[in-house]
């Protein structure tokens, strides 16, 4: 209780690991806007492409506990958004590295959280689901038998979060993100990356060769919704958090053909072709739509963007970024 009051009234500093990545870039900016950039510390192995005056940045490797500990102690960190992770397609190419990075970064955050009463956010994914999971309206509690290393790290990570909460009372919270679409940072190494690339290629070249089949429907989300949801979950009163595994959240589900048709409404010359590669197997193992009623019930999750609204916004923002007329 005391902890909740403290969080609301005098927020300590916030560390975002993986801050140069796809979620990290948008989240760091949103947190800096909301709480003041002096409260935000970004950490990543890669320099951010666009600093934009987002607060402090440390180039470091958080898979080493001493590096993370130094950041936490030197900056009076009270909250960690632990986003350092390899995604699904890279994970299949480098399974050992995916296991090492995804799990050791989380374990370090949880151990430091336990020792220093830190609140933690950790990103899970629809990749926790696998071929034996119901594909439509996938429930919060269901079969978790992923067949990718990325998915295996996400299931293991969720269980670790739950364990640290139950055993050590660590206030850790998590979301199972669908494919995320942002104009600020290009995705990298994921199976849902096509849904970002297609916008860039449509604007630059008016054509795109998609690495998934035209009818591969997957759950997706526009980044502003994902960021709002993340911050909202972290601000929710602890008594309303009913699971320390990842919460299902959902807004859109579409196939490559459906998003290509939506883009064509704005760029009629746009042509999309399809040449599925090894990422198709990953896409085929994931659900097509997600039941997020638990998140709606427990912490009032509600997305704003549908496919039409997202497409308009993406094209508008990317035109400015790419200098396309």
C-alpha to C-alpha distance for 116 and 187, rounded to whole angstroms: 33
Listed ranges 95-103, 108-116, 188-196, 248-256: which one lies at the site for ligand SER (CB under 6 A): 188-196
3-state secondary structure of 296: helix
Among 164, 177, 274, 301, binds ligand SER (CB under 6 A): 177
C-alpha to C-alpha distance for 118 and 139, rounded to whole angstroms: 30
**What residues numbered 110-139 form the site for ligand SER, per CB under 6 A?**
125-127
Q: Any contact of residue 190 with ligand SER (CB under 6 A)? A: yes
Using Cβ positions, the residue closest to ligand SER within the complex turns out to be 190
Listed ranges 47-55, 56-64, 74-82, 184-192: which one lies at the site for ligand SER (CB under 6 A): 184-192
CB atoms within 10 A of CB 141: 9
Catalytic positions, please? 150
Instruction: Give the single-character DSSP code of 138.
Output: B
Q: Any contact of residue 202 with ligand SER (CB under 6 A)? A: no
Q: Any contact of residue 198 with ligand SER (CB under 6 A)? A: no
Q: Any contact of residue 252 with ligand SER (CB under 6 A)? A: no
Mapping DSSP onto H, E and C, the string for 107-128 reads HHHHHHHHHHCCEEEEEEEHHH
Output the six-digit token pair for 23: 């979620």
Furthest CA-CA distance within the chain: 59
Nearer to ligand SER, 90 or 311 (CB): 90
Among 28, 79, 109, 191, binds ligand SER (CB under 6 A): 191
- Decide: 127 and 85 in contact? Cβ < 8 Å: no
Among 63, 138, 192, 216, binds ligand SER (CB under 6 A): 192
Least distance CB 86 / ligand SER (angstroms): 9
C-alpha to C-alpha distance for 30 and 284, rounded to whole angstroms: 33
Which residues of this chain interact with ligand SER, rule CB under 6 A?
A: 87-88, 125-127, 150, 177, 179, 190-192
């Amino acid at each position: 209780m005391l902890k909740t009051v403290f969080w609301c009234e005098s927020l300590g500093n916030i560390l975002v690991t993986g801050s140069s990545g796809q979620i990290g870039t948008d989240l760091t900016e949103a947190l800096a806007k909301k709480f003041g950039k002096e409260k935000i510390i970004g950490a990543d192995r890669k320099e951010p492409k666009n600093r934009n005056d987002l607060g402090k940045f440390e180039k470091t490797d958080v898979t080493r506990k001493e590096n993370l500990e130094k950041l936490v102690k030197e900056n009076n960190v009270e909250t960690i958004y632990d986003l350092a992770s390899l995604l699904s397609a890279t994970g299949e190419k480098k399974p050992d590295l995916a296991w090492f990075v995804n799990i050791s970064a989380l374990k370090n955050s949880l151990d430091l959280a336990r020792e220093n009463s830190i609140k933690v956010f950790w990103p899970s994914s629809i990749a926790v689901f696998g071929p034996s999971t119901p594909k439509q309206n996938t429930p919060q509690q269901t079969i978790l038998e992923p067949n990718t290393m990325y998915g295996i790290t996400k299931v293991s990570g969720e269980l670790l979060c739950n364990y640290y909460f139950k055993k050590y009372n660590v206030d850790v919270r998590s979301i199972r993100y669908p494919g995320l679409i942002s104009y600020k940072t290009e995705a990298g190494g994921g199976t849902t990356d096509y849904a970002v690339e297609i916008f860039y290629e449509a604007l630059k070249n008016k054509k795109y060769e998609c690495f998934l089949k035209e009818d591969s429907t997957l759950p997706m989300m526009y980044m502003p919704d994902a960021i709002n949801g993340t911050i909202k979950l972290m601000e929710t009163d602890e008594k309303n958090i009913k699971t320390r595994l990842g919460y299902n959240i959902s807004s859109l589900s579409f196939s490559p053909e459906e998003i290509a048709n939506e883009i064509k409404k704005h760029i009629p010359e746009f042509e999309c072709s399809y040449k599925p590669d090894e990422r198709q197997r990953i896409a085929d193992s994931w659900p097509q739509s997600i039941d997020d009623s638990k998140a709606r019930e427990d912490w009032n999750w509600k997305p704003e963007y549908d496919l039409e609204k997202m497409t308009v916004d993406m094209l508008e923002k990317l035109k400015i970024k790419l200098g396309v007329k």
